[in-house]
Structure 1
Amino acid sequence: MHDHDHSHTLHAGQLNRAFLIGIGLNGMFVVVEAAAGLATGSLALLSDAGHNLSDVASLGLSMVAFRLARIPPGSKYTYGYRKSTILISLLNAVILLVAVGAIGYEAVHRLQNPVPLQGGTVAVVAGVGIAVNTVSALLFLKDKDKDLNIKGAYLHLVADALVSLGTVIAGLLMLFTGWYWLDAVVSLFVMAVIVYGTWGLMNDSLRLSMDGVPAGITVEKVREQAREIPGVVDLHHVHIWAVSTTENALTAHVTIAPGLSAGEVDRVKHDLKHLLASLNIVHATLETENTHTDKDVGF
């Protein structure tokens, strides 16, 4: 078994800094937004503050996951704590969906009983929210497709920026028209955005935590491409799972054409390793069959 230092060019130092800046900016804004929401009685601001608070928790959990993933393997945890990145990604999704329930309940109640609000204050505070969330999202833009936790953080922050934009529009409309029911409508919009953004994240996280085949990889595709390598007859007993949100593993039996020399078997091993790495499978253990030797090929 070969352990590749394969992190999809994720740089721990840069990510740590991105998480810390994101947590700091959003943490300060949560305090301001919650205070403004309480002062004005705006449910839209309070629900968005709650959503932002869950994002702060999400960013914090994701940072903890990255630090745990860097702990080297030991005799008890032979993959280290890499799986924690998947469990934390799932926990983040669950936290957001719980927050949605609370927002939805209060929004329906407020829709039936609208209260007068200071639309100008709501719009100004939400405008600050657009800036905070956009800056925070940009910190994760480059790496968002390389890891599930980073993708989750990025999606949350972009959703927050869109929600804040909706709140600005609602605040201005309330200021000039007195349509105070818009406050509850924006809260319901917040809820829809969160559910839309979180559902896919939760499905991905749940599949990986159940050792399902990671997105973008199929057993059929791996077998098909392996059979194209000269000397490989077939792959079977194939198992593919995620070790972390950035690393995948595979075990399989490889049927190799009979009569190959030792050098040719080495070439097959090399080609298979190259193929699997290109499919983002960085930990592979292969057992060979029907060759001139009964030895296992492990890498």
Structure 2
Amino acid sequence: MENHNVQTGRRFLLVTLLNIIITLFELAGGLLSGSLSLLSDAFHNFSDAFSIVLSYFANRIGKRTPTLKNTYGFRRAEILTALLNSILLIVISAFLLIEAFKRFAHPEEVQGGVMFIVAVISFAANLLSTILLNHDSKHNLNIRATYLHLLSDALASVGVIISAALIIIFHIKWVDPLMSFLVSIYIIYESLPIVHKTFTILMEASPKLSFEEIKKDLLTIPEITGVHHLHAWLIDENEIILSVHVNMKDLPLSQTERIYLKIENILKQRYNVSHVTIQAECNRGRNTELILNEEKSFHNN
């Protein structure tokens, strides 16, 4: 695990350096060629470098062990960073959409040759960056948000290459803002699900679990006679926490522990629950709803 973290850190460092170089290169190329697509790509790369630095530190913070003050650890640091990065992408894309509309109304002269050369080099660097983070992006929402930054830039570079070719061959001015418009729409489309998912986690919404199925599975244990007050939430996109009250027969503590183990195995193997808190009761709460309505419970009392 430690070696994996070191490798991830090295990838983050290399990708950051690549993006800083690409940003400066594209900024100069955009100013020289007059290309909005190149300038938009440069802004995206600048945001990438910023987001990668944030993601790296969030990843390091998230690996810290739990403390007395943070008993669940620091994984939410990565969720907050993923949210920030995604919102940043949407804001930048919205700004570039406005600029693209302005260019449609007032087309400007673009030097296709300079634009093409810069775009090809940028595409190669962006592609290398996405390859470096591809594996980790499949298992970490924070790294995925950064990966999408890089992927969007690689796609933007492809768009700029196509635009430059069309400008060189057919002298079509409006293709430059059109490509900037299309890439910005794509980035917003890809970023919105991450914003939604991070909000869901931060609001402690329930993961996609069938609570009724969980209840049925727990009731298959002979000693359990009721299940209620079930709560489930996410620490990050992978770790599910669950708490539940179960009615059981009046048993010695030694037997109760064995039933706890059965409950934990069911929840882990069938529902991928990482941590479960169980409260055993004989008759208390037997007729209570599976999902407690706090307001209704208050008025009933």
Instruction: Give the TM-score range, shorter chain.
Output: 0.7 to 0.9
Q: Aligned pair in 2 of structure 1 residues 122, 217: CA closer, same or farther (>3 Å)?
A: farther
Residue 268 (structure 1) aligned with residue 251 (structure 2): no
Q: Distance in 1 between matches of 2:66 and 2:91?
A: 34
Which ranges in structure 1 are unaligned for 5 or more consecutive residues?
A: 1-6, 292-299
Percentage of pairs with the same residue: 34
User: Which residue in the other structure is 1:39 paired with?
Assistant: 32
TM-score if structure 1 supplies the norm length? 0.85
Based on CA coordinates, which of the two structures has the bigger radius of gyration? Answer: 2
Aligned position for 2:236: 244
1:296 counterpart residue number? none
Are 2:265 and 1:254 aligned?
no
Q: Which residue of 1 aligns with 2:153?
A: 160
The separation in 2 between residues aligned to 1:254 and 1:11, in whole angstroms, is 40
Q: Distance in 1 between matches of 2:136 and 2:79?
A: 17
Whole-angstrom CA distance in 2 between matches of 1:247 and 1:133: 31
Distance 2:175 2:183 in 1: 12
Kindly state the Cα deviation for residue 56 of structure 1 after the two structures are TM-superposed. Answer: 1.6
Structure 1 CA distance for aligned equivalents of residues 7 and 28 of structure 2: 32
Q: SS in structure 1 opposite 2:99?
A: helix
Instruction: Output aligned runs, 1:55-70, within 5 Å.
Output: 55-70=48-63
- Residue 297 of structure 1 corresponds to none
Question: Match of 2:64, SS?
Answer: coil
Q: How many residues align?
A: 282
1:12 paired residue number: 5
CA contact (8 A) 1:10 1:143 kept: no
The structure carrying a bigger helix percent of its residues is 2
> Are 1:25 and 2:24 an aligned pair?
no
Query: After the TM superposition, which residues 141-156 of structure 1 pair with which residues of structure 2 at under 5 Å, given as runs?
Result: 141-156=134-149
Helix, strand or coil at the partner of 1:78: coil
Q: Which runs of 5+ in 2 are unaligned?
A: 284-301
CA contact (8 A) 1:230 1:268 kept: no
Contact 2:89 2:149 (C-alpha < 8 Å) held by counterparts: no
CA RMSD of aligned residues (A): 2.4
Q: CA deviation at 1:232?
A: 4.1
TM-score (norm 2): 0.85
Q: Do the aligned partners of 1:122 and 1:167 also contact (CA within 8 Å) in 2?
A: yes
Residue aligned with 2:137, SS? coil
* 1:43 and 1:107 in contact (8 A); partners too: yes
For the 8 Å contact 2:75–2:235, the answer to whether it is kept is yes
Q: Which string of whole-angstrom CA distances, capped at 9 and with x for unpartnered residues, describes residues 203-240 of structure 1?
A: 001111111124x4454454344445554445321222
Is 1:173–2:170 an aligned residue pair? Answer: no
Deviation at 1:184, TM superposition (A): 0.5
- Between the aligned partners of 1:150 and 1:218, the Cα distance in structure 2 is 28
Q: Where in structure 2 are the equivalents of 1:60-139 lying within 5 Å?
A: 60-139=53-132
Residue 16 of structure 2 contacts residue 52 of structure 2 at CA under 8 Å; is this kept in 1? yes
Structure 2 partner of 1:223: 215
CA deviations on 1:159-191 (whole Å, 9 max, x unpaired) are 221221111111100011110111100110121
- Name the SS of the counterpart of 2:65 in structure 1: coil
